[in-house]
Structure 1
Amino acid sequence: AVLESCHPIAAPAREALATHIDAQRAAHGPGVWTAPEARLRRSHQEAVRALARLGDARALPSLLAALDGDVDAWRAIQVAGHLPQAADQLVPRLCDHLRRIDLSQQWTEMSANAILAALAALGDPAAVPALVDTLGTAVRHEHHGVTQAALKALAAFGPAATGALDTIRSLTTATDAHVRPAAVAALWAVGGDLAEVMPLLLGLLDDRITFLISDAADLLGEMGPPASVALPRLRRLLTHDYEWVRVPCAAALWEIGGQAEAPAVLDTLLQAWAKNPATANHVVACLDRMGPLAAPALPLLREQLALPRRGGRFQSIDHDEELQRVSRALIARLDPPGQSAANPRTA
């Protein structure tokens, strides 16, 4: 269980996990995932989940057994997305489970959303028809949480999901604040019509709900220079009183405006990071894209890496590992070994 929860740093245990799983199968048969003895069953399931999160296909037989037998299938669904190399076997089974969920019941949201996330991660277009059906059903039952998740999943497939465009388009004016930005993002990913999407994004930037602004800024940043009409609004939002608005808007400014926006972007990012360490992953990701223009951030990058524990988003292991990896790579690019000695001002 600990190895599973620590999966970003669990790679050294890969062979031990695989050996443990093989030994259990040899001793108790291929159905050990559903073993009647609780401790044995849990031991096997945790080992399989930990191995699956490492992307190791040796976890697959037990995951397939769980999905086929529908015993603790939810535990297999949660890790299925880590095995894209087995999408041809996992996707049909996941789609079957998705179709059997009764979306007229609100309590089914967690189950449906876990499958939708797994299908998006696996990336097999064979899942699109089931996703389209799920979106339609969720809309009919006003199941907003599943509607949002289905929109995000369809966005991952881009133009392959054109069959859902009419439904996606109708949801861009939804009353639910979480559904609306997800629909706009899906409309761009699937339809790719800048003229259609831009007025919707500018409207989100003008909203008073902060996560709508940040969602819009994230998407504008993905669009890059073609979204230049949003630059004036993004510049104004750098003075917003919430750092989770300022950071995505600053990142979008860089992606759209480039070098001309660098001074304001860098100042905004570093101030937000100092005020709220939870923004670190977003800030460092943007600094990495800025390259040499991020050089003034070197002292703060080194200071963060020297801490025994960083802030980072949700203080999770995976976010911290990513934060360290990007920060070290950025420092190496900005200040290669030997440069500090040659130029004391960079030390």
Structure 2
Amino acid sequence: MNKHKKINRLIRALGSEEYSVRSLVVEALGKIGKVAIPKLILLLKNRDVNLQFYAADALGKIGKSAIPKLMPLLEDKDDLVRSSAAYSLGSVGKSAKIAIPNLISLLADRDYSVRSSAALALGQIGEAAIPKLMALLEDTNAEVRCFAAYALGQIGESAKVAIPNLILLLKDRDEKVRSHTVSALGQMGEFAKIAIPNLMPLLADEDEKVRWKIVLVLRKMGESAKIAIPNLIPLLTDENFIVRSSTVDTLGKMGEPAKVAIPNLISLLTDEDEYLRSSTAQALDRLGYKP
């Protein structure tokens, strides 16, 4: 069987109801390589969202040779096509750095899924995107600032140079920007410890997602975040259940310095929620409390 016939058979198999079959087909198309690109590009314009996704996945696996065909699709009039093309380029990884300027422009796209796919792609491309993403942290468009922070978070510790800029963004007037900035700092590991004093005031942020994300970031830092314990304790009575339960778990993982919170935790042992009572008991046990 020649390659073109094999490609046609594989593409038909992408319509299978079995996920395992579709997954194997994507792998096979990726291995066939460059000769499969034209057919896969056509599938990116198919109205079947599932086929678009699997085509995008296969193009990403084909790699660098798919880039010239994917780049023009970043300007396609169809939102899903632009989003799928960005996803594919992100899957290619560092080799797709030529697409950085085009992906940067999509952070201001009218469609959320396109903005999200572009940010994810920039994060996957990695370090080469950092300078342009850092510049966008000061963009006048809140959505652009938001997704620039998100992309830097996806790059992770390699983007540690952006930490001072992200710290400034913690005071942004937009709650989504603050929320994504907190998440980005949380993905930068040990290097983000310098941000702890700046994160502490936001434990009283009006947005519950911001409060919750900071609690999670502080949990990752463990005892290093002990300075924040006095700010965490009030969240044990937060109006939001997820914030309360996350705070219980975080304090339980902060070791000896968190023992000061034991009296506050004990009061939650009689909470009406069974899950919260159970997680509180576990946190107290980790802190060495004996009834």
Which TM class, normalised by the smaller chain length?
Answer: 0.5 to 0.7
Structure 2 regions of 5+ residues with no counterpart? 1-12, 287-291
Could you tell me which amino acid in structure 2 is paired with residue 114 of structure 1? S
2:174 match: secondary structure: coil
1:191 deviates by 9.2
Q: Distance in 2 between the 1:15 and 1:161 partners?
A: 34
Mapped pair 1:66 → 2:64 = no
| Superposition pairs of residues 59-98 of structure 1, within 5 angstroms | 65-70=69-74, 71=76, 72-78=81-87, 80-81=89-90, 83=91, 86-93=92-99, 95-98=100-103
Match of residue 31, structure 1, among 14, 34, 38? 38
Measure the CA separation in 1 of the matches of 2:242 and 2:71.
39
Q: CA deviation at 1:183?
A: 3.6
**Aligned residues of 2:59 and 2:66 also touching (Cα < 8 A):** no
Change (3 A) 1:255 1:65: farther
What is the CA deviation profile of residues 16-62 of structure 1, one whole-angstrom value per residue up to 9, with x for unaligned ones? Answer: 44557899x97xx7423454xxx895289844632665998248755
Percent identity between the aligned chains? 19
Deviations 1:297-329 (A, max 9, x none): xxxxxxxxxxxxxxxxxxxxxxxxxxxxxxxxx
| 1:237/1:249 contact within 8 Å kept | yes
Between the aligned partners of 2:47 and 2:156, the Cα distance in structure 1 is: 39
Which one of the candidate residues 115, 120, 128 is aligned to 2:130? 128
8 A Cα contact 2:82 2:114, kept in partner:
no
Q: Residue deviations 1:64-114, cap 9 Å, x none?
A: 622355453321223554x3xx31323332x131244484xx736653332
AA aligned to 1:116 is A
Partners in 2 of 1:270 and 1:89 — Cα distance? 54
Going from structure 1 to structure 2, the CA distance change for 1:114 and 1:30 (only over 3 Å counts) comes to closer
Alignment of 1:85-234 (within 5 A): 86-93=92-99, 95-101=100-106, 103=108, 107=110, 110-120=113-123, 122=124, 124-136=126-138, 139=139, 141=140, 143-158=141-156, 160-161=158-159, 164-165=162-163, 167-184=165-182, 186=184, 189=188, 192=191, 194=193, 197-234=195-232
Q: Which amino acid aligns with 1:112?
A: R
- Kindly tell me the number of residue pairs found equivalent between the two proteins: 259
* Inter-CA distance 48–101: structure 2 relative to 1 (3 Å threshold): closer
Deviation larger for 167-176 or 49-58: 49-58
Residue number in structure 1 paired with 2:54: 50
User: Cα–Cα, structure 1 residues 15 and 174, in superposed 2: closer, same or farther, change >3 Å?
Assistant: closer
Bigger mean CA offset, 127-136 vs 158-167: 158-167
Counterpart Cα distance in 2 of 1:101 and 1:198: 32
Q: Which runs of 5+ in 1 are unaligned?
A: 276-282, 294-347
Out of 224, 247, 251, the residue aligned to residue 249 of structure 1 is: 247
Q: Secondary structure at the match of 1:175?
A: coil
CA RMSD of aligned residues (A): 4.8
Alpha-carbon distance change, 272 to 77 in structure 1, aligned in 2, over 3 angstroms = farther
Q: What is the TM-score with the length of structure 1 in the denominator?
A: 0.56
Letter in 2 for 1:192: F
| Separation of aligned partners in 2, 1:158 and 1:102 | 19
Distance, in Å, in 1 between the alignment partners of 2:67 and 2:274 is: 43
Q: How far, CA to CA, are the matches of 2:93 and 2:241 in structure 1?
A: 39
Q: Would you say the 8 A contact 1:177–1:212 is kept in 2?
A: yes
Distance 2:152 2:125 in 1: 10
Could you tell me whether the CA contact under 8 Å between 1:239 and 1:246 is conserved in 2?
yes
